[in-house]
Amino acid sequence: MMEVNEELHNNITIYKYNMNKNYIVEQLKKQIEGFQAETKLEKVGKV
């Protein structure tokens, strides 16, 4: 029973890690998209 419990715990830990990683990646994408939009605005503004 202990082995099953440990394996379940490990799977949950991996799942949480992946969810957190995906969240961080999504946040970075949003920041990059925002930065690219600002950069485009600056270029248009200077013309």
Q: Where are the domains of the chain?
A: 1-47
**Residue 47 per-residue DSSP state:** -
State both tokens at 28: 């970075």
Distance of CA 19 to the CA centre of its chain: 8
E strands of the chain, at which residues? none
Reported as a pLDDT band with limits 50, 70 and 90, residue 40 is confident
Mean pLDDT over the full length of the chain: 88
Q: In the prediction, which pLDDT does 36 show?
A: 87
47, pLDDT greater than 70? no
Query: Model confidence over 1-30: pLDDT tens digits?
Result: 578 899 999 999 999 999 999 999 999 999
Token couple for 31: 């920041």
DSSP category for residue 1: -
**3-class SS of residue 31:** helix
